[in-house]
Copies of this chain bind each other. A is one copy, B any other.
């Protein structure tokens, strides 16, 4: 007996939403990648001018705005993956393995200096 995952169910809802509006025609990979980048930037805007500490202490309204932007990034990520026939979960698991080889525990554990020196992939 097969079970459909919650991510799969979400994807089906998104595609139903899109098909009802006939919007697949706009969803070429280039424009979807633009949309992801724009939504990620709107997510970041919620933290602009804040300190690290302030970014840990957000009021309820701000958290709701952030939820909506996180949702937008995920939704477009799912659509792009669908268009390119990419398995989101599997890709993330494979990337984690790559990162594990790139950042071995014995060399990178608690090393903030190495952390700073290495480029941006911290996961």
**A36 surroundings in chain B (CB, below 8 A):** 40, 43-44, 73
Contact with B along A36-59 (1 / 0, CB 8 A): 111111111111111111111010
Q: Is the CB of B49 within 8 A of A43?
A: no
Q: Is the CB of A63 within 8 A of B84?
A: yes
Q: Judge whether A123 is part of the interface by a CB distance below 8 angstroms.
A: yes
A residues within 8 Å of B by Cβ? 3, 5-7, 10, 13-14, 17-18, 20-23, 25-26, 28-31, 33-56, 58, 63, 66-68, 70-81, 83-84, 86, 88-89, 91-96, 98-100, 103, 105, 108-110, 112, 115-116, 119-123
- A26-B49, A31-B55 are known contacts; what are 6 more A-B pairs with Cβ within 8 Å? A10-B93, A20-B105, A29-B47, A30-B52, A68-B98, A74-B91
